[in-house]
Amino acid sequence: SAWLERNLVTWLSHRQNMDVWIRGIIEELPQHELGRFLQSVRTHGSWFERWASKRLSCPLEGVQIGIVEASKRNMAVNHGKLWLPLMKNGSGEVKRVILSAMRDIDDEDAYLLIDEIWHSPWRFVLRCAYMLVPHNFPNYPRMREMFEAGLNSPHERIRKDAQKRLEAMNKRKSPED
Could you read off the pLDDT of 63-83 as tens digits, one per residue? 999 999 999 999 999 999 999
Dump pLDDT digits (tens) for 162-173: 999 999 999 987
What is the pLDDT confidence band of residue 119, given thresholds at 50, 70 and 90? Answer: confident
* SS3 at position 58: coil
pLDDT at 116 over 60: yes
Look at residue 176 in the predicted model and tell me its pLDDT.
58
Residue 52 has pLDDT above 80, yes or no: yes
Contact criterion met (CB below 8 Å) for 103 and 138: no
For residues 144 and 118, the answer to whether their CB atoms sit within 8 Å is no
Q: Report the alpha-carbon distance of residue 32 to residue 71 in Å, rounded.
A: 19
- Please, which pLDDT band fits residue 175 given cuts at 50, 70 and 90? low
Q: Can you tell me the mean pLDDT for 1-27?
A: 95
Render 93-138 in DSSP notation, one character per residue. HHHHHHHHHGGGS-HHHHHHHHHHHTT-S-HHHHHHHHHHHHHH-T
With 0-12 / 13-18 / 19 or more C-beta atoms within 10 angstroms meaning exposed / middle / buried, residue 80 is middle
